[in-house]
Amino acid sequence: MTTPNAAQILVVDDEPVMRTIAQSVLSQHQFIVTVCASAEEALERISSGYVPDLVILDLLMPGLNGFETCRLLRQQLRFRHLPIIMMTALDDQESIDNAYRSGATDFITKPLNVPLLPYRVRYLLRSSTAIKDVVENETALLNTQRIARLGNWSMDKNGVVFAASTQYLEIVGESLLPIGLLQFFQRVHHEDHDALLTNRLQLASGRSYQMDYRMRSQTRADRWYHVHERAFPEFDEQGVYQGATGYIQDITERVVNEERIRDLAWHDQVTGLNNRDRLTELLERELAADRQNKHFALLFIQIVNLPELSKVFGQDLVDSSVKALATRLRETLRRPRLQADCLESCIDANMTRAAKLARYDENAFVIAMPDGENVKAMHCFAKMLHEALTESMVLLGQEFFFKVQIGIARYPQDASEIQSLMRRAMLVARNASTNDAKGPVSFFAPQHDQVASHRMALERGLHIALEQGNQLTPYFQPKFSAQTGEIQGAEVLLRWKHPELGMISPAHFIPLAEEIGLIHSISEWLIGNVCERVADWQAWNQNIGRLSLNLSASSFFQKNLLQFLDEVLSRTGISASQIVIELTESILIQNIETASRVIAGLRERGMRVSLDDFGTGFSSLGYLNRFNIDEIKIDRSFIIDLERHSKEGALVEAIIKLGHALGLEVVAEGVENERQAELLRAMGCDTFQGYLYAQPMTAEDFLKFHLDNGPESFLERTQP
């Protein structure tokens, strides 16, 4: 048995860049990678003796394309269970369906989600290794059986076995000859009676047969064993039927093995649930039986932060959590917990009882269930599932929270084929997890297909932007002392100027970059770029104060974050005390222990840590003394309401007081008018950031702004 990590991976793609990316990321994970620039080259290698454990196959190639290659491989018996991943485009439903039809095990979308690739490869290898083991077993078994477990017999024209080898007697569990027809048939499984009898009767007309049937075990009446029998009729010189000879083989182990193979191929090994192939097959069978009257919904349940968790805590923890999540889903289907706000409209027990639960892939489950006409009920039920899954979970003594998005597509409204229906439900869930979803549950709507193509365009664009380097630019928004008005530094805000789509907000492209695995490259590029600029400014004696950098979850939890920061600081000669790292609460609560450790590392080096968007999370105040931070930024939404609602005013004042009591600097963001500034100043707020003072601006403008409004000019302005 090959250990998954020493596995041979074959990458077939005509694009050199894709080959290089796949090779380098997979080699880093100890896979042995072979690359081929065409399907022809790959097939040639295989026919000259190279045996891959997994194939990653590009769809569109000159010469043989992915479909044809996949089909050719599957025709070879030894590659029947070889995992083949097809690379294709997310919005192209038809080619995805075709990929499966031509025998692909899975598909991944281009551009490649680089960090997820090794994870997915390992997942597929694990299930295929299990299958391969059993197949190898089976072959060995067949050979031994052929040699040993074979008995021969002779039968007269009345069906009485009058001569046989000891092997035969052993197999049929008799000790004495002859064995009469009735005596024999008593031990044959009643479901196999007719077929065997028909075959035996036809011997007389000259027809030989071979068949499998079941016999009752001699020792255990409740056990059935499986035999394979071949028989050849015999005639005398006059052509009169005399009886038959044949042999019998005990194939019980083989049958059991075959059942196991089917089981492995159709079930997820971690949860024991059906996998998506099995679910698809079941649903297709149901549809074939009754296409007219079927109404059902597919709920695609995406566990959004599972890849993140896997990167930080490893596969074992992911397996345990997936098992626990599967249990929660089963439980909820068995005993739906009604929610107060939808008691009447909620799903009835018949629907959940008929539901089919499956594991879709490493990060998702799918449920197929009867769908009344009531969309509201389905929505309510999905919310109930969401609630069950997002309750915190303790694993290895640590508390974890899962982010879950549910996408729903309905038959027959949303698609008429199972594969497309599933893909559409998936699209909805995945889109919702990257865009600002209006909640945890979304239904498919035709515009989702457009959204998917738009997203593809953005994904490609982002790759290009990062390669070219000039579409992405850091902007700087100055921060001011509330009391003196002096510039204290700036927050760095990333901007993407897309050549066709214009300015794209980081709120849109950062989550996308996280999902497609570009976030590390982007944030490393940004941090390096900003520090170099600051070093230049300092060389001209321009000290622009502290710079605040926003970090997203995956950048923050990236293993080598601290090491990377050390390198950049020492390369550019910038002091750690000039850097502020802005984090959001949603990052911190993903994993409290690890977050505390990284924060401690940042502060040991002299960097400052700021809690961004403060007040928008659900438990902000409680977190303040759990994390060792330096600064809080009161979210803009509070500042907006400051003048209008006295309640907001009291809350903001309390936050400022509490912050000060804990020794924190308090920043107000989004200060837009004098009235807000006055109120905040009176409450003791330390620092202001907002349009009232300055918008985010380019590096050049910021330097100019700094020169015009620096400490000297400030003094000039304030002196009479």
CA dihedral 81, 83, 87, 89 (to 10 degrees): 70
Residue 494, binding choice from Mn ion, ligand G, none, Cβ under 5 to 8 Å by partner class: ligand G
Q: Which one, 585 or 612, has the nearer CB to Mn ion?
A: 612
Give 217's strand partners.
none
Element housing 129 (H / E)? helix 116-147
C-beta separation of 465 from 496 below 8 A = yes
Binding mask 655-684 for ligand G (x = CB under 6 A): --------------xxxx------------
Q: How far is the CB of 466 from Mn ion (least distance, A)?
A: 21
| Residues of this chain, 592-631, that bind Mn ion according to CB under 5 A | 612
User: Per CB under 6 A, which region of 158-166, 346-354, 550-558, 621-629 contacts ligand G?
Assistant: 550-558
Q: Which one, 35 or 510, has the nearer CB to Mn ion?
A: 510
Q: Which one, 55 or 492, has the nearer CB to Mn ion?
A: 492
Q: Which of 493, 580, 624, 677 binds ligand G (CB under 6 A)?
A: 493
Indicate left, alpha or beta for 690 from its phi (over 0: left) and psi (-120 to 50: alpha): left
Q: Which one, 422 or 595, has the nearer CB to ligand G?
A: 595
CA 205, 206, 210, 216 torsion: positive or negative? positive
Q: Which of 98, 352, 477, 550 binds Mn ion (CB under 5 A)?
A: 550
Enter the tokens of residue 599. 């924060």
State how far the Cα of 274 lies from the Cα of 263, in Å rounded to an integer: 9
Q: How far is the CB of 31 from ligand G (least distance, A)?
A: 30
Q: How far is the CB of 475 from Mn ion (least distance, A)?
A: 12
Q: Which one, 195 or 640, has the nearer CB to ligand G?
A: 640
Residue 91, binding choice from Mn ion, ligand G, none, Cβ under 5 to 8 Å by partner class: none
Q: For residue 67, give the nearest of 9, 12, 121 by alpha carbon.
A: 12
Q: Which one, 39 or 667, has the nearer CB to Mn ion?
A: 667
State how far the Cα of 182 lies from the Cα of 188, in Å rounded to an integer: 10
CA dihedral 44, 46, 49, 52 (to 10 degrees): 150
State the DSSP string of 414-482.
T-SSHHHHHHHHHHHHHHHHHTT-SSSEEE--THHHHHHHHHHHHHHHHHHHHHH-SSEEEEEEEEEET
| Residues of this chain, 679-718, that bind ligand G according to CB under 6 A | 689-691, 696
Q: What angle do CA 254, 257, 258 make, to 5 degrees?
A: 90
Q: How far is the CB of 507 from ligand G (least distance, A)?
A: 4
Enter the tokens of residue 200. 């035996």
Q: What angle do CA 22, 23, 29 make, to 5 degrees?
A: 95
Q: Which one, 583 or 598, has the nearer CB to Mn ion?
A: 583
How many residues belong to the site for ligand G (CB under 6 A)?
Answer: 24
Q: Which of 58, 250, 414, 582 binds Mn ion (CB under 5 A)?
A: 582
Q: Around 447, how many Cα atoms within 13 Å sit in the side-chain half-sphere? A: 3
Q: Which of 147, 289, 340, 507 binds ligand G (CB under 6 A)?
A: 507
Q: Which one, 14 or 672, has the nearer CB to ligand G?
A: 672
Contacts of 699 (CB under 8 A, 6+ apart): 473, 474, 476, 533
Q: How far is the CB of 506 from ligand G (least distance, A)?
A: 3
Q: Which one, 515 or 669, has the nearer CB to ligand G?
A: 669
State how far the Cα of 463 lies from the Cα of 513, in Å rounded to an integer: 9
User: Per CB under 5 A, which region of 227-235, 341-349, 578-586, 693-701 contacts Mn ion?
Assistant: 578-586
User: Per CB under 5 A, which region of 71-79, 102-110, 476-484, 544-552 contacts Mn ion?
Assistant: 544-552
State how far the Cα of 615 lies from the Cα of 79, in Å rounded to an integer: 56
- Does the protein bind ligand G through residue 307 (CB under 6 A)? no
Q: Which one, 99 or 504, has the nearer CB to ligand G?
A: 504
Q: Which of 143, 505, 542, 575 binds ligand G (CB under 6 A)?
A: 505
C-beta separation of 365 from 298 below 8 A = no
Strand, helix or coil for residue 119: helix
Strand, helix or coil for residue 707: helix
Q: How far is the CB of 505 from ligand G (least distance, A)?
A: 5
Q: Which one, 449 or 672, has the nearer CB to ligand G?
A: 672
Q: How far is the CB of 422 from ligand G (least distance, A)?
A: 32
State how far the Cα of 195 lies from the Cα of 229, in Å rounded to an integer: 12
Q: How far is the CB of 539 from ligand G (least distance, A)?
A: 24
- Does the protein bind ligand G through residue 551 (CB under 6 A)? yes
- Does the protein bind ligand G through residue 643 (CB under 6 A)? no
- Does the protein bind ligand G through residue 612 (CB under 6 A)? yes
Interface residue list for Mn ion (CB under 5 A): 550, 582, 612
Interface residue list for ligand G (CB under 6 A): 477, 493-494, 505-507, 510, 526, 550-552, 582, 612-613, 633, 636, 669-672, 689-691, 696
